[in-house]
Each structure stands twice: as structure tokens, then as C-alpha cells.
Amino acid sequence: MWRMLADAILVLHFGVVLFVIAGLAWIVVGNVLRWPGANGWWFRTAHLAAIAIVVLEAWLGATCPLTTLEDWLRAQAGEAGYSHGFVEYWVRRVLFYDAPPWVFTLGYTLFGALVAAAWWRFPPGRGGRPGNR
């Protein structure tokens, strides 16, 4: 049971990463192509909050709570490493790289700046009609 919960947290974590990355693409492309929903207030607020949390964690040197929870669940399952199934191995490889911490802090900060620029360039909540200027 603990391992299944840990795997669920890993998939959730991967989903958050996809939301942050694909969300910015959706915002920019959606505004250029005038897709409805690209500027929805709740979507844009959740997207900005997600990257803001990542940037704040990086600047504070904090470990992501999802990572902490997953590690705790794996410890409860008696697992000491990540030598598990195929999907888990590749999801983990996509999420975690070996690089100095400052590289991630810089990357998160730059991506956060892009999200802020998109917020300014394409303001949210324009009644579902993206691209109106």
C-alpha cells in the first residue's frame, strides 16, 4: 500500500511539472491563436502560483513537499532506492537531474520570469476571449 501511494505521489509530481511547462505553452499559443480558455482566471492563477512555489522553494533551498512525502512513503514501504518498474524509473529520470543546485534555481527563476511576462503580456480573465487587445 505504501509503495502504491508513493507511486501515486510520483505521478502527481510529474503532472504538476507538466502543468507548469505545458501551461505556459497553452497560454502563449492560446493567445496567439485566440483559443478560448487560455486566459481563464483560475487556470492562470493556479499556473502562476505553481511556478511561484517552485521558485520560492529553490531560492529558500527547500525540498518540494511532494518529494518529501514520496520519500517518506517509500521509507514506510521499506524501500531504500528507486530501482523499481519501468514507468517509475523514467518519470523519475525526467524530474530529477544531477546538476548543482544553482542551475535549478536559475532555471526555475527564468521560467518564473517567463510566466510573469506572459501574465503581463496576456492578462488573465478577459471573459474567455483570449487575444482581445
Per-residue pLDDT, averaged over 1-12, amounts to 92
Give the confidence band of 85 by pLDDT, cuts at 50, 70, 90.
very low
**Annotated domain spans of the chain:** 2-121
DSSP, res 92: H
Q: CB count, 10 Å around CB of 25?
A: 10
Cα 28-104-85 angle, rounded to 5 deg: 90
- pLDDT(64) > 70: yes
Mean pLDDT across the chain, nearest whole number?
Answer: 84
Give me the amino acid identity at 59: W
Cell numbers found for residue 66: 511532494
C-alpha to C-alpha distance for 117 and 60, rounded to whole angstroms: 23
- pLDDT(59) > 60: yes
Residue 16's alpha-carbon distances to 9, 22, 73, 92, 133, in angstroms, are 10, 10, 19, 13, 30
- pLDDT, tens digit (0-9, with 9 covering 90-100), for 17-30: 899 999 999 999 99
- pLDDT(81) > 60: no
Q: Contact 74/127 with Cβ under 8 angstroms?
A: no
The pTM assigned to this predicted structure is 0.79
C-alpha to C-alpha distance for 57 and 51, rounded to whole angstroms: 10
